[in-house]
Amino acid sequence: MFGAGDEDDTDFLSPSGGARLASLFGLDQAAAGHGNEFFQYTAPKQPKKGQGTAATGNQATPKTAPATMSTPTILVATAVHAYRYTNGQYVKQGKFGAAVLGNHTAREYRILLYISQQQPVTVARIHVNFELMVRPNNYSTFYDDQRQNWSIMFESEKAAVEFNKQVCIAKCNSTSSLDAVLSQDLIVADGPAVEVGDSLEVAYTGWLFQNHVLGQVFDSTANKDKLLRLKLGSGKVIKGWEDGMLGMKKGGKRLLIVPPACAVGSEGVIGWTQATDSILVFEVEVRRVKFARDSGSDGHSVSSRDSAAPSPIPGADNLSADPVVSPPTSIPFKSGVPMQSKPS
């Protein structure tokens, strides 16, 4: 409908167009409250008072002299197949670019869907309570700033994981004081969810959160012979893990951003010996599960009884010719419903 063809993928991702793509980040501020006017590309306006030298007369601000403090960074950009929720079903809109843009100084972050570097489609502000719902088969859904629900399908699992990860990092960066664990599914799996009392075998990597990004790796199972074994609710791991891993499923992968207050636990259990004054980030993957309610089962029996959920089947007019799986057929969560943590 609106989408660009495959030949336009380089326009979605080209580093040479980064400044132009990043300039779209500010359009929603100028167009706030003006409905669909946002979706029309306009030339940059004069800087506000205190933001550089004001232009004289009716001359526009030169493109070569943007206000440094307000220039966002492209954190990730990729091509997606986009679906808009309309009249009770997801309708394909085309192949778009999807980017996470951020301004670390202002703590402002957005998801941007765009057709080209000059034509935005929609924008969603990322804040600490922003919800990105990850679905199987490389789908993610979210609400934009107009409360319109979108579903986007990434072209690879790797692209989906990186995009979902950057959204979670942006949520952390959007607040000046993180007081609760942030969790973001990177890959979701089918089967029963883990609860307190269940025993898990987990692969993980842990980073210190430094200068708005993932910093030093302080521990990982990547170079170890065995996975980490833990029992949820036992108090043998940091509180951030106890809270952040609830609800995961065998084969699922999640990013946990743990503030210092939630990094208290049995020191050394996960190989961490740093002082608890740093935000910690973990990428965790559940490899095996022994459910407390099935005390006689092991990881093999669990995996054998995990059943795949049926794929949703939308109307035939919603289907793309190229994706091999279907988008979800219903809205996964309600617009405007806050999560437990409070925004700063």
Highest mean pLDDT among 190-194, 304-308, 313-317: 190-194
pLDDT-based confidence at 181, cuts 50/70/90? very high
Q: What integer is the mean pLDDT of 226-247?
A: 88
Architecture of the domain defined by 182-305: Roll (3.10)
Highest mean pLDDT among 1-5, 189-193, 293-297, 323-327: 189-193
Note the pLDDT of residue 24: 54
Nearest-angstrom CA–CA distance, 79 and 160: 10
Which is more confident, 337 or 109? 109
Note the pLDDT of residue 298: 45
pLDDT-based confidence at 261, cuts 50/70/90? confident
Residue 129 reports pLDDT greater than 80: yes
pLDDT-based confidence at 152, cuts 50/70/90? very high
Answering whether pTM is above 0.75, one says: no
Nearest-angstrom CA–CA distance, 256 and 280: 8
Q: Where are the domains of the chain?
A: 6-165, 182-305
Which is more confident, 341 or 134? 134
The CA-to-CA distance between both ends of the chain, in Å, stands at: 39
**Listed range (20-29, 206-215, 313-322) with the worst mean pLDDT:** 313-322
**Listed range (24-28, 101-105, 305-309) with the worst mean pLDDT:** 305-309
Note the pLDDT of residue 130: 98
Q: How far is CA 18 from CA 15, 21, 139, in A?
A: 5, 5, 25
Dihedral sign, Cα of residue 213, residue 218, residue 224, residue 228:
negative
% of the chain at pLDDT higher than 90: 50
Nearest-angstrom CA–CA distance, 166 and 198: 29
Note the pLDDT of residue 41: 34
Contact at 8 Å (CB) between 79 and 155?
Answer: yes
Using CB atoms within 10 Å of the CB of residue 52, give its burial: 0 to 12 exposed, 13 to 18 middle, 19+ buried: middle
Per residue in 187-211, pLDDT tens? 999 999 999 999 999 999 999 999 9
CATH 2.30.29.30 fits 6-165, yes or no: yes
